[in-house]
Amino acid sequence: MIDKEKLKKFVKEALAEDIGKIDLTTTYLIPSRAMVKADIIAKSGGVVCGLPLIESVYAFLDSDIKIKFNVKEGAVVEPGKAVSYLEGQATSILKGERLVLNLLGRASSIATFTKAYVDKVRPYNVQIFDTRKTTPNMRFIEKYAVRTGGGKNHRMGLYDQVLVKDNHLAVLKELGGTKDSMMQDMIRSLRKRVQKNIKIEVEVNSIAEFEDALSAGPDIIMLDNMSPDEIAEAVKIRDASTSRTRRVIIEASGNIRLDNIEEYAKTKVDRISVGAITHSPPALDFSLDII
């Protein structure tokens, strides 16, 4: 599901950005009495994501607009498919046109790209996760699109999971944290300060760093920009040392693309995080045609 309250606030602000005080063209050309019918057409094939966004935009502009969906959310469609039918006051439909198409296109692009990654790793029982590389103020929509495409959300922000990255460690080292037990002390301190349901993840860049982190006992270890061979070695080390009651999750990340992701999936890593699914998915285009 998508957060409806966040969506209402977002739509209000997005429409204000686009329409401002007045839609000059529509207001001065189109009579308010004009009633029309329209189709929203997929101009390229992919996963449809964003039908609730269409409802939200037009609910804000004109609750009398009739909307009929011809596909279900998450359906895969071919180019030329009419995904939605609209009927109502022409001025309302025209004012919402660009925002609806932008949101539908963005969300569907992310869902489609995510599905491509999910399909690639399906034979290997690996999960695809997103990152925080999202459009400001649109993260809740983009992460919803990831879920629609079959992916998982890593964390929504800095507030719902601990992720100790290289720069955090660099600052700690500058403060004198160079002793062998730094990693263990850091994890122990975090365990005392965060709620028990909060996951603690540590980013590492080498097998030596991985072994150090593994001994400290975080919930997740992210292998950043490590080769498939190194990741496979880390998995073997983890499997040989993990107790029966607690298993550290291993995540691979960094420079992983559609054309090489199977090499990473074959390592038996638990999950792979891919920033590209939200920051650079190939665009899907939609049009609104008056019929």
Angstrom distance (rounded) from CA 48 to CA 107: 8
What percent of the chain has pLDDT above 90? 90
Query: Look-up: residue for tokens 């122990």?
Result: 188
pLDDT digits (tens, 9 = 90+) for 14-38: 999 999 999 999 999 999 999 999 9
Angstrom distance (rounded) from CA 287 to CA 291: 12
190-195, long-range: CB < 8 A, 24+ apart = 190/162, 190/164, 194/162
Angstrom distance (rounded) from CA 148 to CA 108: 9
Angle at 119 between CA 261 and CA 108, to 5 degrees: 105
Strands 286-290 and 76-77: unpaired
Helix (H, G, I), strand (E, B) or coil at 289: strand
Angle at 87 between CA 81 and CA 88, to 5 degrees: 150
Segment 248-271 mean pLDDT: 97
For the chain, what percentages of helix, strand and coil (3-state, to nearest 5) are there? 45, 20, 35
Task: Give the residue from 252, 193, 240 showing the smallest Cα distance to 214.
Answer: 240
pTM of the model: 0.94
pLDDT digits (tens, 9 = 90+) for 140-161: 999 999 999 999 999 999 999 9
Query: Look-up: residue for tokens 């498919």?
Result: 81
Task: Give the residue from 139, 120, 121 showing the smallest Cα distance to 130.
Answer: 139
Q: Is residue 176 left, alpha or beta, with left meaning phi > 0 and alpha meaning psi from -120 to 50?
A: left
Question: For the chain, which domains are there?
Answer: 4-114+281-290 (3.90.1170.20), 119-279 (3.20.20.70)
Task: Give the residue from 181, 186, 254 showing the smallest Cα distance to 218.
Answer: 186
Q: Which residues are catalytic?
A: 98, 133, 165, 203, 224
The predicted structure's pLDDT at residue 179: 60
pLDDT digits (tens, 9 = 90+) for 151-189: 999 999 999 999 999 999 888 888 876 566 788 889 999
Q: What is the DSSP letter of 79?
A: T
pLDDT digits (tens, 9 = 90+) for 103-153: 999 999 999 999 999 999 999 999 999 999 999 999 999 999 999 999 999
